[in-house]
């Protein structure tokens, strides 16, 4: 008797693939926000965006 089973699917997704999408989206949002605000507000917007990107990357790795 032959039994047909599906192959094991316990593969882990690499951390880079998990982190890449949220980081790219936040970097794009930061760049767009920095481009759309007044020149005096560009540096604070960029700094807040960088901090948010770092927090999301760290949380994504921690929760993965």
Residue 33, domain member (yes or no): yes
Q: What integer is the mean pLDDT of 44-58?
A: 96
The beta-strand segments (E) located in 1-64 are none
Q: What is the mean pLDDT of residues 33-51?
A: 96
- Mean pLDDT, range 31-51, rounded to an integer: 96
Is 4 a domain residue? no
Domain for residue 31, yes or no?
Answer: yes
Categorize the per-residue pLDDT at 29 as very low, low, confident or very high, splitting at 50, 70 and 90.
very high
Whether 34 is in a domain gets the answer yes
Residue 5 within a domain:
no
Domain count, the chain: 1
Domain housing 36: 15-63
Q: Is 23 exposed, middle or buried (CB count within 10 Å of its CB: 0-12, 13-18, 19+)?
A: middle
Instruction: Decide if 53 contacts 23 (C-beta within 8 A).
Output: yes
């Amino acid at each position: 008797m032959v039994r047909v089973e599906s192959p094991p699917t316990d593969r882990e997704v690499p951390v880079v693939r998990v982190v890449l999408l949220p980081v790219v989206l936040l970097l794009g949002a930061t760049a767009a926000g920095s481009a759309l605000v007044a020149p005096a507000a560009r540096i604070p917007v960029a700094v807040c965006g960088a901090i948010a990107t770092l927090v999301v990357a760290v949380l994504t790795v921690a929760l993965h």
